[in-house]
Each structure stands twice: as structure tokens, then as C-alpha cells.
Amino acid sequence: MDAPRPVALITGASRRIGAAIARRLHTAGYDLALHHRRDDDRMDALLAELESQRTGSTLELRAELADLDALPLMVADTVMRFSRIDVLVNNASAFFPTPVGHATAEQWDALFSANARAPFFLSQAAAPHLRAAGGCIVNLVDIYAQRPLRDHPIYCMAKAALVMLTRALAKDLGPQVRVNAIAPGVVLWPEAGIDDERQHKLLDSTALKRAGEPQDVADAALYLVRDARYTTGEILRVDGGRSLTI
């Protein structure tokens, strides 16, 4: 009998970087449990695309990550469908400005819920299965977790918490589970938009003088998942050298 394929659970997988990671891992032979919140059309299209390549290789998980009760159910549904979890990719995120003097408790809760609380509790729920598989966790952090972005203090704090979670889980879940993170730089512009002058300034301050692509992050994810067998607790910057200048 053929050996069972490894399984990856990816949050925020319907679009942008999450979808790129899903496609890259699927091409590499992983079956996928793909989470989204309400992006039904894009998720339907992604599932159809992947299923056309390998029938029975995907599972849709629709959930609100702020609902703590939903997180262990996502893990349980994945195990019920595929009988294992080898990889957890905490990709889902929230990003918006919170200038000092105008920030609210609701904004704090939203940013910390998406960027720190959900990754922790989802990792906790998946940990027994990851240990059994000798698997790994990949968290999507941000270069601004270490060097703050003006007018985004709560976002930066939440991503800094995710950096610390990466290192803490690497120690607590080792030696069975490796835990690493990717810190993208200018890969995709914010969905709310950004003016041309700001775009040019960001690219000019990047050593490679250009934006990256979601595929760059997806390739880094595959490296951490499949090839970096002696790497844990690390933050891999995929930023074109942006962190050298900020």
C-alpha cells in the first residue's frame, strides 16, 4: 500500500500568501486542511483547482478564529478526515493602524486574537498530533515584530508575541515538533491600499530594490516544513533586505 501523504493545516488559506503556501505544499505532495472565515468564492476556486490535480486531497475548514471553541474542532475535523496532522501553518492575520490616542480595546482584542491568541490555542490543540507525526509549526510573523511600524503599536506588539510564541513552543514541543516562523517584508501591499510615494519609499529602502512575491514566502514555508530538519525556534526573514534599513 502507498504510504499516507503528509497533511498540513493552513489558516487564512483562501487568498494572498495563504493560498500561495497551500499551492506550494500541495504540489510537494501534502494533503491540505484549508481554513477560511468567509471568503467562500475564493476558497471554492482554490479547492476546485487543487482537487483537479489530486482528488480527495483537500478539506475545507470554515471558522472564526476568535471563537476559541472552534479551534480544537478544526483539528478534530482534520484528523477525522486524514487521520493525522504533520504541519500547522498559522498564516491568518489582522492588520490595521491603531495610532496612540485613538486606539480602542476592541482593536486590541481583534489584533491580539488573530495574531497571537488563535495561533497559541490552535497549536495547543494540534500539538499531540504533531508530536505523533514528528511534525512542525510555521508561524507567519512580520519584520515589524522587531522594529515597530509607525501608528501600528498594537499590531507590532501582537506579532512580537507570535515571535515569542515561536521560540517558546520550539522549546516546549521539542524534540518531536519543530517550530519556526517567516517574517515577510514587502511582498503584498495592504488590502486597504498604499499611495505611490509610500510604495516607492519602501522599495527604495529594500536592499533588492523590489517587492517580493507570495511564491517567495511559499518557498520558504516548504523549506521550513520539509528541508530544515535541524532548525527550530528560528525567524526566517523573507524581506529582500528590508530589515537592514528599518
Query: Dihedral of CA 138/143/148/154: which sign?
Result: negative
Q: Mind listing the pLDDT tens digit for each residue in 108-135? A: 999 999 999 999 999 999 999 999 999 9
Rounded CA separation 80/59 (Å): 11
Note the pLDDT of residue 1: 53
Note the pLDDT of residue 193: 63
Amino acid residing at 21? I
**Do residues 57 and 32 lie in contact, with contact meaning Cβ atoms separated by under 8 Å?**
yes
Q: Mind listing the pLDDT tens digit for each residue in 63-101? A: 999 999 999 999 999 999 999 999 999 999 999 999 999
**Residue 123 contacts by C-beta under 8 Å, 6 or more apart in sequence?**
88, 90, 137, 165, 169, 179
Instruction: Give the pTM.
Output: 0.96
Q: Is 144 a catalytic residue?
A: no
Look at the block and give the residue holding cell 496532522.
85
Q: Which grid cell sits at 181? A: 516562523
Q: Which of 118, 86, 112 is nearest to 98 (CA)?
A: 112
Taking the domains of the chain in order of start, what are their residue ranges?
7-244
Catalytic residue chosen out of the listed positions 144, 155, 223, 230: 155
Burial degree of 3 (CB within 10 A; 0-12, 13-18, 19+): exposed
Q: Please give the residue that has the higher pLDDT: either 70 or 38.
A: 70
Note the pLDDT of residue 183: 97
Fold of 7-244: Rossmann fold (3.40.50)
Least confident piece of the model among 47-51, 135-139, 195-199, 234-238 = 195-199
Note the pLDDT of residue 78: 98
